[in-house]
């Protein structure tokens, strides 16, 4: 019997893992708990430019949230290209501008036409993917949030205007610089000029906006040269670093802060809030979490091979083509360009009453050649995002909470 008890105790000592401390090393220790999965990431965190913010959310007995963030290799001054993550603040700024205009009968569903009046501009009078065949702030926002449409972002950039974008973000205390359209390589002068806009309903012009011109000089945060060589926009090779100096800048510290302001506006200072209507905020949250197969306009549900569930849900699912469980909802904005893979997410499991936030970035440009569309997204980036989301999700499943969250505020009826 004594030998049996000794062996039982010995087995317990070897099998029972020490709990992971919730200190400044939490994220690294969580990754070390899956060392075979994350070893190469940890060993090369600086080369891969990995940055992670994990935010725990705890509720009190009145369901009020409090937040505790943990950081891994985070430096808000270290540049990475934010790609499509800039589309979330753009959607919020466009909705905020509509709210401030306060014109009776003018809202996000009012058809918005774009008129070319300067070099590099394009006119838009139709949108075949919308229900009524017309473009609008609402439809552009929907396309941004469900599948990260670039043209939709450009149209909102033009409506708000370069100067107002940066002035507004700065006044709200968001450390970021947004200088250009996406997938349209225009010189700085043309990005300072934006298409004229007309909001028209039943042949009546509700609001007309002339071309906006930013005559102020917006200085970059820093000089940024990356890589050993690059291709220009005409596929010409240059054996020199790629210049990111005048490209968009949006660090994950700012992304995390902005996402919290959207999700939990009552928990941030008034100056940092986006002054949109509650209906507009709910609209954004719905389409942030809505999957392509749940979307009627545009009819993404018809193209599930291309627009699979994880198409814009990198954390927890990477590039998986299987369906995401209905109990899990991800409110997020991703980005991928020049080798950078980014996700800024609030993740909910309704069945297990779990909620948390993660922001992460990794540079998959392992060859140090920029703008050649040859990046290790599939072998490095997507697996990292999937595994990171899963290891933190599994930790959250077992984390003790004094009060289970009431997540009903984040339940939505989706289009399909």
Q: What is the full DSSP assignment across 2-46? A: HHHHHHHHHHHHHHSPPPPP-STTHHHHHHHTTHHHHHHHHHTTT
**Which residues make Cβ contacts (< 8 Å) with residue 168, sequence separation at least 6?**
93, 96, 160
Q: What is the band of 17 on the pLDDT scale with cuts at 50, 70, 90? A: low
Q: What is the pLDDT of residue 15?
A: 45
The length of the chain in residues reads 416
Q: What is the band of 219 on the pLDDT scale with cuts at 50, 70, 90? A: confident
**Residues facing residue 54 across a β-bridge:** 70, 358
Nearest to 364 by CA among 80, 149, 144, 88: 80
Identify the structural domains of the chain with CATH numbers, from first to last: 20-410 (3.40.710.10)
Percent of the chain surpassing pLDDT 90: 93
Q: What is the mean pLDDT of the chain?
A: 95
Percent of the chain surpassing pLDDT 70: 96
Predicted TM-score (pTM) above 0.85: yes
DSSP 325: P
Strands 369-370 and 229-231: parallel
| Tokens (6 digits) for 31 | 């990754």
**Which residues make Cβ contacts (< 8 Å) with residue 197, sequence separation at least 6?**
112, 113, 114, 115, 158, 159, 207, 208, 209
**Residues facing residue 136 across a β-bridge:** 111
Q: How far apart are CA 236 and CA 262, in angstroms?
A: 42
At residue 394, φ and ψ (nearest 5 deg) are -65, -35
């Amino acid at each position: 019997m004594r030998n049996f008890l000794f062996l039982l105790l010995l087995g317990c000592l070897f099998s029972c893992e020490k709990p992971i401390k919730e200190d400044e090393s939490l994220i690294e220790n969580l990754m070390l708990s899956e060392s075979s999965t994350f070893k190469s990431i940890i060993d090369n965190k600086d080369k891969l430019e990995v940055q992670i913010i994990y935010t725990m959310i705890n509720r009190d007995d009145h369901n009020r949230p409090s937040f505790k963030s943990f950081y891994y290799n985070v430096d808000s001054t270290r540049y990475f290209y934010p790609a499509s993550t800039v589309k979330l603040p753009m959607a919020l700024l466009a909705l905020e501008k509509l709210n401030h205009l306060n014109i009776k009968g003018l809202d996000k569903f009012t058809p918005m036409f774009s008129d070319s009046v300067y070099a590099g501009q394009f006119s838009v009078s139709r949108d075949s993917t919308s229900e009524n065949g017309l473009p609008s702030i609402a439809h552009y926002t929907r396309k941004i949030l469900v599948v990260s449409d670039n043209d939709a972002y450009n149209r909102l950039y033009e409506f708000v205007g370069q100067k107002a974008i940066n002035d507004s973000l700065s006044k709200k205390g968001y450390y970021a610089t947004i200088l250009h359209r996406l997938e349209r390589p225009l010189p700085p002068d043309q990005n300072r000029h934006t298409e004229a806009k007309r909001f028209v309903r039943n042949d009546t012009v509700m609001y007309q906006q002339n071309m906006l011109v930013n005559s102020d000089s917006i200085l970059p945060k820093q000089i940024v040269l990356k890589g050993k060589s690059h291709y220009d926009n005409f596929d010409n090779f240059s054996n020199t670093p790629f210049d990111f100096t005048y490209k968009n800048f949006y660090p994950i510290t700012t992304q995390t802060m902005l996402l919290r302001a959207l999700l939990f506006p009552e928990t941030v200072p008034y100056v940092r809030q986006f002054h949109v209507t509650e209906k507009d905020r709910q609209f954004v949250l719905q389409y942030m979490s809505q999957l392509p197969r749940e979307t009627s306009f545009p009819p993404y549900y018809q193209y599930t091979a291309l627009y699979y569930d994880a198409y814009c849900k990198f954390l927890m699912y990477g590039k998986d083509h299987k369906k995401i469980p209905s109990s899990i909802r991800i409110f997020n904005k991703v980005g991928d360009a020049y080798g950078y893979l980014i996700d800024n997410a609030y993740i909910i499991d309704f069945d297990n009453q779990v909620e948390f936030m993660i922001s992460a970035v990794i540079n998959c440009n392992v060859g140090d050649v920029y703008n050649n569309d040859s990046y290790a997204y599939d072998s490095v980036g997507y697996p990292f995002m999937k595994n990171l989301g899963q290891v933190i999700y599994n930790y959250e499943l077992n984390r003790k909470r004094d009060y289970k969250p009431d997540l009903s505020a984040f339940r939505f009826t989706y289009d399909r």
